[in-house]
Structure 1
Amino acid sequence: MPPTDASAGPGLDPALGPGPALGPDPASPEDSEDSEDTLALRLPDGFGALGDAAAPAGPGSAPAGELVGDVAAWGPAATPVGLFRLLPVCVERDLSLIHRWMSDPVVAAFWELAGPPVATANHLRSQLDGDGRSVPCLGLLDGTPMSYWELYRADLDPLARHYPSRLQDTGIHLLIGAEGRGRGLGSVLIRAVSDLVLNRRPACSRVVAEPDLRNTPSVAAFLNAGFRFAAEVDLPDKRAALMLRDRSLRDVL
């Protein structure tokens, strides 16, 4: 399963990602009132349009019917380590690079996409040929590809069965390639990407991630990026930390 790498520094697992569906997590009082367990069901006709139409339009915001939005139009983010931007994947252009990252033993242990390039290609195309609920992207720092990201509608993912999801919750999966590893970039880039999500998706009230609980540097990177620890959850292959970054707390944490 793909994971979420929050490479905060040397020795951190560079690929910690979504993993399988989370185990049951009792809703807190503040979450339960407006939670939506949307599961991984077929979307009713017009659902995407209704969901995004409710949000005020803004630069790079999602056109009606798009579930994550036009990520290519989101533009760059200035960070303390350089100019960062997300570039939606083109399989023909990017497969060789992404496959090389996926074949790194440290990454492969979490993403499970080592092997022939077709495995990586199928993983990418399953998103690109889907309904838009997951968008695979390269992360470019000062124009150089150095990370891989997946932005997805967590409320439309199987993950939503196992935590008190809200409409428009947006999840992130990531890995940092060897080019960017060991530089303490994890928390900076996680904050940059979650800020882009919150800025460009006004209907999204929080960003979701679930790093492996054993990877304390990764959990620390999410905390340093403004996420809060919500719960410990059992997955088939790991115990994970459910991390949330709330729009209402983004200027506090």
Structure 2
Amino acid sequence: MPSTEASTDTGTGPGSPTRGAAGDTLDPRPSDERVALLGEGDPTAVTPPSDDAPTGDLLDAPADWGPVATAAGVFQLVPVRMERDLALVSEWMNDPAVAAFWHLPGPDTVTEAHLRPQLDGDGRTVPFLGALDGAPMSYWELYRADLDSLARHYPARPHDTGIHLLLGGAAHRGRGVGTILLRAVADLVLDHRPRCARVVAEPDLRNTPSVSAFLGAGFRFAAEIDLPDKRAALMVRDRALRDLL
């Protein structure tokens, strides 16, 4: 699973290698066409999912959660569309700061092989672009941690929801944006998934900016866990402690 702030990769989804969580690397400004597709000029516009963007019933349809106001701007999770977003996500994955934790550098086919099982899957893991004020600037995966291989490595509870994240542009890194967005997305999960008592993540212990971002976003450090490709920090945001951390 990936990590968060320095390269902000907090991610490892079902069937994918374990990674880190929250990074910035490339120019965050999208093309005019991409801005139009993501609704810039109307940050509250929700992009409808395409045929290859599952609504994710196992995750209570995060594609329908809509935009949220944050200290960094209006943020929205937009379902990944392969034909529209592959080149951009692949570009981010080839940034050295991201590749160090996500381990997905290479041609577009490498990223496609990572995205396709999620887009064609049963909805237990769903990929998104994170749009800030209409501009795509991050990549996210929401997943059912209790149904994931991660559940073999910690005492999972029903409906535990995991987060993987990378910040796609260096302009957003090192400024606390990862922390702000992690809190916002965790709040979205807790607001829209009433059966979920915990949001979890497993950034690489070496990715100290990612771990710090999670701590700043109200997560607590629960344990060190050995995953197939890293030693990770198990980070947990509890619904019961939501207003205290």
User: Which whole-Å CA distance do the structure 1 matches of 2:232 and 2:93 have between them?
Assistant: 21
Amino acid at match of 1:13: S
SS of structure 2 residue aligned to 1:115: coil
Aligned to 2:101: 110
Aligned to 1:186: 178
User: Which whole-Å CA distance do the structure 2 matches of 1:183 and 1:220 have between them?
Assistant: 12
The alignment's TM-score, normalised by the length of structure 1, stands at 0.77
1:3/1:110 contact within 8 Å kept: yes
1:147/1:180 contact within 8 Å kept: no
Matched, 1:67 2:58: yes
Q: Deviation of residue 221 (structure 1)?
A: 1.1
SS of structure 2 residue aligned to 1:67: helix
Q: Deviation of residue 69 (structure 1)?
A: 2.3
Aligned to 2:26: none
Aligned to 1:157: 148
For residue 15 of structure 1, the aligned residue among 9, 12, 22 is 9
Alignment of 1:20-39 (within 5 A): 20=18
User: Which whole-Å CA distance do the structure 1 matches of 2:197 and 2:8 have between them?
Assistant: 27
What CA deviation, in whole Å up to 9, does each residue of 1:174-215 have, x standing for no partner?
100125323321110000000000101111111000112222
Q: Deviation of residue 146 (structure 1)?
A: 0.3
User: Which whole-Å CA distance do the structure 2 matches of 1:217 and 1:195 have between them?
Assistant: 21
Matched, 1:246 2:238: yes
SS of structure 2 residue aligned to 1:84: strand
What CA deviation, in whole Å up to 9, does each residue of 1:129-153 have, x standing for no partner?
0000000000000001000000000
SS of structure 1 residue aligned to 2:57: coil
Gaps of 5+ in 2: 20-54
Amino acid at match of 2:217: A
User: Which whole-Å CA distance do the structure 1 matches of 2:84 and 2:227 have between them?
Assistant: 34
Aligned to 1:47: none
For residue 204 of structure 1, the aligned residue among 196, 201, 206 is 196
Quote the RMSD (CA, aligned, Å).
1.8
Gaps of 5+ in 1: 22-63
User: Which whole-Å CA distance do the structure 1 matches of 2:116 and 2:7 have between them?
Assistant: 26
2:3/2:207 contact within 8 Å kept: no
Q: Deviation of residue 65 (structure 1)?
A: 8.4
The runs of at least 4 consecutive aligned structure 1 residues that moved more than 6 Å come to none
User: Which whole-Å CA distance do the structure 2 matches of 1:105 and 1:218 have between them?
Assistant: 16
Amino acid at match of 2:62: V
1:71/1:87 contact within 8 Å kept: no
1:15/1:106 contact within 8 Å kept: no
Alignment of 1:78-227 (within 5 A): 78-178=69-169, 179-227=171-219
1:4/1:172 contact within 8 Å kept: no
Q: Deviation of residue 119 (structure 1)?
A: 1.2
Q: Deviation of residue 112 (structure 1)?
A: 1.6
User: Which whole-Å CA distance do the structure 2 matches of 1:128 and 1:13 have between them?
Assistant: 24
Aligned to 1:32: none
Amino acid at match of 2:130: G
Amino acid at match of 1:238: K
The alignment's TM-score, normalised by the length of structure 2, stands at 0.79
Amino acid at match of 2:144: R
Q: Structure 1 vs Structure 2: percent identity of aligned residues?
A: 66
Q: Which moved more, 1:97-106 or 1:147-156?
A: 97-106
1:16/1:174 contact within 8 Å kept: yes
Q: How many residue pairs are counted as aligned between the two chains?
A: 205
* Max Rg structure: 1
User: Which whole-Å CA distance do the structure 2 matches of 1:199 and 1:123 have between them?
Assistant: 28
2:219/2:235 contact within 8 Å kept: yes
